[in-house]
Amino acid sequence: MTDEKPLAGKLAVVTGASRGIGAATSESLAAAGAHVILVARTASALESIDDRIHEAGGSATIAPLDLTDGESIGKLAAAVAERWENLDILVLNAAMLGSLTPVEHIDPKEYARVLGLNLLANQAMIAAFDPLLRKAERADVVALTSSVGGEPRAFWGAYGSSKAALETLLGAYADETEHSGRIRVHIVDPGATRTRMRQLAFPGEEPDSVKPPEAVAKAILERLLSEVPTGEKVRIEA
């Protein structure tokens, strides 16, 4: 580990790594010296991020998979455990917006998909990688949330409830692991950020009026390198 590469020798897993905040965070962690396992559904998009990381002198491995398939998550964790001794950083970023609609009009099948990715897949990731996180000298789990997870908003019931449940889940995990002093949990609300999800939610918004994903990635890296308490929820304003 050096000042230039403060994460040298560290291993990170990032979900939703093919674009937006996930891609930017993956590149930021790799630039800091971590080997990053890039997780998302689309192999071609992951290959593009992988190429950018390697061109910048970083190191990464792509892992295309569907996070709603619990069996795939288990296989990924087993493969990581076979090759590496522990996991230092787990970034739970993958999510889907779903339709913005009144609660009484929420489609049950779509709601199940939203909960499946935004909540259940994250619990499955924690369950699968917890043994590797506990083997690290110090491990960090970062979960991306949203302001609507804490402040209900009309038409955001499906997505907001999935994030509210995620925050509760991560808060419990932080409380359960705090005694060890080896796992820190970070609940990060990225705020208004220039992502595809933001564009879907606010189609009339000028993209340049909100911060780029790289600003969120920088803030996440700064938290990982700082002495901050576990279980803290933070909002990134700029």
| Annotated catalytic residue, options 111, 129, 159, 173 | 159
Compute the distance between CA of residue 151 and CA of residue 49 in angstroms, rounded to an integer: 33
Contact 35, 10 (CB under 8 A): yes
Report d(CA 160, CA 100) in Å as an integer: 10
DSSP letters for 156-224: -HHHHHHHHHHHHHHHHHHHHHGGGTSEEEEEEE--SB-SHHHHHH-TTS-GGGSB-HHHHHHHHHHHH
Q: Establish whether 173 is a catalytic residue.
A: no
DSSP H/E element including 142: strand 139-144
Do 36 and 88 contact (CB within 8 A), yes or no? Answer: no
Yes or no: say if 19 and 44 are a contact pair by the CB < 8 Å rule: no
Any idea which residues carry the catalytic annotation? Answer: 159
